[in-house]
Amino acid sequence: MSQRLTTPMVRESGVLREATWDEALDRAAAGFRSVVDAHGPTSFGMFSCSKTTNEVNYAAQKFARTVIGSNNIDSCNRT
């Protein structure tokens, strides 16, 4: 039997419960936005993986730079 999650989970009052994808993504976006609003875009950082495609790494850096406004993105591609 697989231990893999098939639906998103959100924490409510300290307990995980199933959620819709829209709710889970809205909560994630709200979390990013609250940090950026409180501490500025440089408070956000992202680490991208060298085992993924160049296209996915490009999308990750584009998100960090254009949506969040942070240049704090790194990857293990340099090693």
Q: Are 19 and 5 in contact (CB under 8 A)?
A: no
pLDDT in tens, 3-45: 888 999 999 999 999 999 999 999 999 999 999 999 999 999 9
**Pair (46, 76) in one structural domain:** yes
Which of 13, 23, 75, 14 is CA-nearest to residue 50?
75
The number of distinct structural domains making up the chain is 2
**Pair (53, 72) in one structural domain:** yes
On whether residue 57 sits in a domain, the answer given is: yes
**Pair (21, 46) in one structural domain:** no
Residue 78's pLDDT band (cuts 50, 70, 90): low
Domain extent for 12:
7-39
Report the phi/psi class of residue 72: left, alpha or beta, with left for phi > 0 and alpha for psi in -120 to 50. Answer: beta
- Give the helix ranges, DSSP H, for the chain: 21-39, 54-62
**Pair (31, 53) in one structural domain:** no
